[in-house]
Structure 1
């Protein structure tokens, strides 16, 4: 693999865009899945979920809007990370972008099932079971997408290891997070008989899974700002 030799190959503007997008995405995910979805959906109780959703459609629509923000920022990140990683290896950087795009398409398919839930409840055109079926399809599609997302993070981490401008600890965290996503969601989808063990593994690995990409985003954003600031010409002392 070609290795970048110069720190000057760092692309500050795409890095800032990627970093800001990753941070916005994290905030949207915390709201949409961490707050709204977990407040409204109880997968073990279809009737209770329906009763929670009917009077809370405004919150559910805000959740869907949050997923829309996530999809948009995912598309931006796919482009921005390609630009940041292109000096390291153009072909592998393109693969990183394509994997992110593929994941985003699967995520959009998952979110479409949330839109179906909204229509069923608004039109009063389906049953409690149909609502839960659509919610389960959302989880299924997203889980499959997270397998692809894991491979994306692994590739980002491997490329980052070759870059002199990215700290090694971020690269290692990305690889750990990527392996965790791919392993856990492969087990959820391929080994359902081990669901309890997989859930325990997910709890144990949740911290590196969360901070891997978020750490990259924060670092890229502030590194981009610092690089742009340092690259400005100084006129101090000019006559």
Structure 2
């Protein structure tokens, strides 16, 4: 269990590093959904950078898939049924992100093969918008996963209760941002505030859990 815990912690660290790099360093710097011409030019002129972002997202997805299994094994002793359900919701998140990632791969492919045109610009924005929407839906499922993971942490006799509360706080952050992004017409006006909420609550909850996974010595206590 100790080895599995540390492997899970490393996978979580990879998600933090690759996800922040791909999304905030690469994608955010290249994409403006309100400016199709500039976005298309950015991707065409920075194809290597965009490809690196895709690789980062693939690393993130691979690590996430590993955690579906490993976190189930870690939380199973607390409540097997809830662990199954939590794994299911993380699996739904990974599935939606995989479908979304296909949209980004398509963006990379068509910008490499086609010359810049109004039609290309329209296709790029449609694909990027679909990527954004699909990932947002996936993150809502991820929020449910965190909520259940927080519940399991609170009920366990080996995960600190504070981590359970922080994971539930992170789940609320994803729920607030995701639902607002999908249903609030004026979301763009307050986007920075919603993103700050989800980043702050998510990082605190998941990072605390990551650190615990890395430093916990399961050999000292029988589960």
TM-score (norm 2): 0.91
**2:39 pairs with 1:49:** yes
The Cα shift of 1:98 comes to 1.0
The Cα shift of 1:194 comes to 4.7
1:96 corresponds to which of 80, 83, 86 = 86
Q: Where does residue 86 of structure 1 map in the other structure?
A: 76
The Cα shift of 1:164 comes to 1.9
Name the CA distance, whole Å, in 2 between partners of 1:66 and 1:15.
23
> Which residues of structure 1 form unaligned runs of 5+?
1-10, 232-239
Bigger mean CA offset, 207-216 vs 93-102: 207-216
2:19 corresponds to which of 29, 36, 52 = 29
Name the CA distance, whole Å, in 1 between partners of 2:191 and 2:112.
36
The Cα shift of 1:205 comes to 4.5
> Which residues of structure 2 form unaligned runs of 5+?
none
Q: Do the aligned partners of residues 217 and 199 (structure 1) sit closer, same or farther apart at CA in structure 2, a change above 3 Å counting?
A: same
Residues 164-216 of structure 1, C-alpha deviations (whole Å, 9 max, x = no match): 21112111110011011022211211233455346523324431122211221
Name the CA distance, whole Å, in 1 between partners of 2:192 and 2:21.
22
Q: Do the aligned partners of residues 205 and 98 (structure 1) sit closer, same or farther apart at CA in structure 2, a change above 3 Å counting?
A: closer
- Decide which structure has the larger Cα Rg and report it: 1
Q: Do the aligned partners of residues 51 and 18 (structure 1) sit closer, same or farther apart at CA in structure 2, a change above 3 Å counting?
A: same
Residues 132-170 of structure 1, C-alpha deviations (whole Å, 9 max, x = no match): 111111101000111100000000001100112111211
Q: Do the aligned partners of residues 58 and 198 (structure 1) sit closer, same or farther apart at CA in structure 2, a change above 3 Å counting?
A: closer
Say what the alpha-carbon RMSD is for the aligned residues: 1.7
Matched residues, number? 218
Q: Where does residue 8 of structure 1 map in the other structure?
A: none
Q: Where does residue 134 of structure 1 map in the other structure?
A: 127
The Cα shift of 1:38 comes to 1.3
The Cα shift of 1:13 comes to 2.5
CA contact 1:102–1:148 (8 Å) conserved in 2: yes
**2:203 pairs with 1:213:** no
Q: Do the aligned partners of residues 162 and 221 (structure 1) sit closer, same or farther apart at CA in structure 2, a change above 3 Å counting?
A: same
